[in-house]
Amino acid sequence: MILLRNHINKPYIWFFLCIILFSCVNTKKKYLIPDKKMVPLLVDMHIADATGLSYLPDQKQLRVDSAALYGWIFDKHEVTRMQFDSTMAFYTKHPDRLSKVYEKVIAGLSKLESEIKEAEKDEALKKKITLWEDTKNYMLPNDGSTNRLSFSVPVSELGEYTVTASIKVFRDDESLAPRINAFFWYDNQTEQGYRDYFKSAPIKKNEILNTYTITKQLRNENVTHIKGFIYNHSNQDTLFLKHAFISGIKIIYENF
């Protein structure tokens, strides 16, 4: 009887052992997140961590708790905290696999950072408008031996205005204190009118084509023009020679 029982039960024991072993393997796999799914999940978690650390950096008590955001991330990627913990435990025993996963995570974060920078750049460019542009290239003295290249451009909007030009001055140029200067202007019934000056930009005599810019915010609604000189000087007489090449003259407007 005992021999018969042993004879009958052995195959069944092995069968049940195989079922239990297979169930354990399946259970283990069930609680592991695939690498392809883990990469975007970790990217989101790193963003959440960065948000928690960067928000109000000088007031630690008011920082966002990045851990509080993980629940939303798990829901987004349709995983549980248990699956995440099990997967990370698995990675600690397989560092080579973790390294490969993090290579993709870093690549994903770098791509996202580049996209954000491009978006910010595009947004900044949208806010800037070329209000006025002189497409002519000037060669002094051919275009006037003491020409200061004056300009007067109407304005109507409050905001930031930039005057820019590319200038190359040769060493035999005799201008004293060459500079770009500009001012906001309107007619206030005085001889010179109201003037609010930009900070001038000194021009170098180094025979190199340099780009010069001067910028100022307009906050006075009475202003009607920007006026000034692209190549001003301090010489008291006209018995001197300018020798310079000037191009790319623009006035750029950016709203607040």
Both 155 and 116 in a single domain? Answer: no
Could you read off the pLDDT of 40-69 as tens digits, one per residue? 999 988 888 777 654 444 555 544 444 566
Quick one: DSSP state of residue 58? T
Is the link from the previous residue into 34 a cis peptide, with omega within 30 of 0? no
Tokens of residue 111, six digits: 């791509």
d(CA 227, CA 216): 13
Count CA atoms within 13 Å of residue 124 on its CB side.
Answer: 6
CATH number at residue 222: 2.60.120.260
Query: What are 196-229's pLDDT values in tens digits?
Result: 999 999 999 999 999 999 999 999 999 999 999 9
DSSP state of 78: T
Length of the chain: 256
Amino acid at 61: Q
Q: What's the pTM?
A: 0.55
Domain assignment of residue 51, yes or no? yes
* pLDDT band (50, 70, 90) for residue 117: confident
Closest CA to 243 of 144, 161, 149, 165: 144
CA–CA separation, 168 and 182 (whole Å): 19
Domains held by the chain: number: 2
Q: Which of 100, 126, 152 is the last residue of a domain?
A: 126
Domain stop point among 95, 126, 157: 126
Asked if the structure places residue 201 within a domain, the reply is yes
- Name the residue range of residue 114's domain: 31-126
Same domain, yes or no: 236 and 158: yes
Question: Does 13 fall in a domain?
Answer: no
**Considering the domain boundaries, does residue 176 fall inside one?**
yes
Angle between helices 70-77 and 81-93 (to 10 degrees): 90
Residue 1, domain member (yes or no): no
Q: Mark whether 122 and 153 lie in a shared domain.
A: no
